[in-house]
Amino acid sequence: MQLTGAEIVIECLKEQGVDTVFGYPGGAILNVYDELYKHSNEIRHILTSHEQGAAHAADGYARATGRVGVCFATSGPGATNLVTGIATAYMDSIPIVAITCNVGVSLLGKDSFQEIDIAGITMPITKHNYIVKDVTKLADTIRKAFVIAKKGRPGPVLIDIPKDITSTVTEYEPAVIEPVMPSEEVCEEDIQTALEMIRQSKKPYVFVGGGAILSGAHKELYEFIKKVDAPVTDSLMGKGAFPGTDELYTGMIGMHGTKTADYGVDECDLLIVAGARFSDRVTGNVKEFAKHAKILQFDVDAAEMNKNVLITEGVIGDLKVTLKRINELLEQQDHSEWKEKIMAYKEKYPLVYPSEGLTGPFVVEEIYRQTKGEAIIVTEVGQHQMWAAQYYKYTKPRTLLTSGGLGTMGYGLGAALGAKTGMPDKTVVNIAGDGCFRMNMNEIATAVRSNIPVIQVVINNHVLGMVRQWQDLFYGKRYSQTVLNDAVDFVKLAEAMGAEGVRVTTREEFQEAFARALTLGKPIVIDCQIDKDEKVWPMVAPGAPIREAFDEADM
């Protein structure tokens, strides 16, 4: 059949099972939006307040559902506004497809109005990107983009389409899309080496990263850990892959991890790394990281082997496939004495916070209590993000959505809109600091316009909390540009945008406000006033070994 490029875009999205697109129209992409209008009963479009919000929403949709998120933007500034969201997805290996339109082919490279080389700009932050100058190649390009986004280690793909290509007619052949399946390939010799290392270990520790969630390996991981009979820690991105309520779970590792996890990894004789990339926030001083242990790494990406930390052995392959194979061959292990030592650490070094007053940790624990641990928690970046990681017990994958690698302030609200759109039956809560919230708070208008009932909790200490914490500890209390004592009223702002707004200053007020939010059925902003000097504990100083984790009592 003969279709225009714009019609091909929509037909290809329908082929891929896309039900939602997040975006913002403009001149160059008008033909695509005109065609989208005709298919509004098949593909829902969420008009965000800013293109960055669209990219974050596509990311949140992908993280929550496990499907590919899709966003649209026009040429020039519309396309460049996607960049931070694309980079966020790239750093955390999230599958999104960003479709931008550009000026016509004859105008490319001439500094035309709203022209930008978005393919060149995004080359370092995408798995692959395309500029389609031939309409006959458009359908195949879109199909390839979805495969690339999902296959192996996931990630973002960008497709840039000149405007005249969207109006050019060509022959289109529908295709049946086969699901992208993980590769079953894994080296048998490497599996045997891994088994032997596990059997010889007396003090194993399992470190779980985001790859365990991306591969859907949580069931295989649980069986593996129980067979190895080892304590477990996770990275920020790995939360929910292994239940945070399990007795073997020891909390997060790294700069704001628990002392139990940091000490345990420092003392183990075998560190088994499942889908993690050894971020600097995890390792601290790389030369001192797990220096008493052999390191066994499971990862789908060969480039991660020996990239940040020198490992002993590695198994390259899809984590679900790798663990399934090992589980078939591994005998039940017993490390009772080692576990007793780690459990003693858990008892000796619990996470604690003040017993009175409204605090960040209390807010997070109360959210956990009222949602019974069944919500999707989204965060921005900073102190509140760490409290959300420490005090909410994640028992299922895809229930903590947060910018781990890039650390994107302003990520959470857009991502929460995407998550709630993709998982409408789940309670979705975005936990933000006041500094992060003001970056993309305009997306509250999107939530109201599209009737997306997210719960926005603002941990408001009137400062840039995490930066101030560093200034307090390492910069002689010189609070350069981190005090936000302005006249912004988040309650009035929420109401001006059509949402509910409430300010709370006590534990009881928050309990009441959040209980109401759960039954409200519309967007709400809860402004939680906390002390500006509240800190995240424990902490490891930048560049220090993780065994030197300290807290307020140590100071």
- Which residues does residue 273 pair with via DSSP β-bridges, in sequence order? 207, 297
Tokens found for residue 347: 């008892």
DSSP conformation class of 221: H
d(CA 509, CA 196): 56
Give the C-alpha separation, 12 to 378, whole Å.
30
Element (H, E) at 87: helix 83-91
> Using the 8-state DSSP alphabet, how is residue 246 labeled?
S
What would the DSSP string read from start to end of 309-363? S--SEEEES-HHHHHHHHHHHPPPP--HHHHHHHHHHHHHS-----SSS--HHHH
Active-site option among 7, 11, 35, 51: 51
Distance of CA 446 to the CA centre of its chain: 21
Q: Which of 150, 163, 239, 259 is catalytic?
A: 163
Cα of 243 vs its chain's centroid, Å = 18
State the DSSP H helix or E strand holding residue 69, giving kind and residue range, or none if neither.
strand 69-73
φ, ψ for residue 70, nearest 5 deg = -130, 135
322 vs 329: CA distance, rounded Å: 11
Tally helices (H) and strands (E) across the chain. Answer: 23, 20
What is the C-alpha separation between 426 and 523, in angstroms, rounded?
14
User: What phi and psi, each to the nearest 5 degrees, are found at residue 25?
Assistant: -80, 170
Say if residues 22 and 56 touch (Cβ distance below 8 Å): no
173 is catalytic: no
Residue 268 DSSP one-character state = -
Q: Which of 123, 119, 131 is nearest to 166 (CA)?
A: 131
Is 413:443 a contact under the CB 8 Å cutoff?
yes
List 113, 171, 200, 474, catalytic entry = 113
466 is known as an active-site residue: yes
User: 538 and 551 in contact (C-beta within 8 Å)?
Assistant: yes
Catalytic residue at 197?
no
CB 101 within 8 A of CB 163: yes
The DSSP bridge pattern shows strands 69-73 and 20-23 to be parallel
Which H or E run contains 159? strand 157-162
Q: Give CA separation, 537 vs 27, 98, 316, 351, 353, in Å.
A: 50, 38, 35, 8, 9
3 state SS of 418:
helix
Q: Of these residues, 252, 409, 466, 539, which one is catalytic?
A: 466
Is 113 one of the catalytic residues?
A: yes
Give which of 42, 326, 300 is closest to 180, Cα–Cα: 300
Which of 14, 15, 114, 294 is catalytic? The answer is: 114
Q: Among candidates 194, 151, 181, 234, which has minimal Cα distance to 328?
A: 194
* Coil vs helix vs strand at 108: coil
**What's the distance, Cα to Cα, between the start and end of the chain in Å?**
73
Active site (annotated) includes residue 51:
yes
Mind telling me the catalytic residues? Answer: 51, 113-114, 163, 466
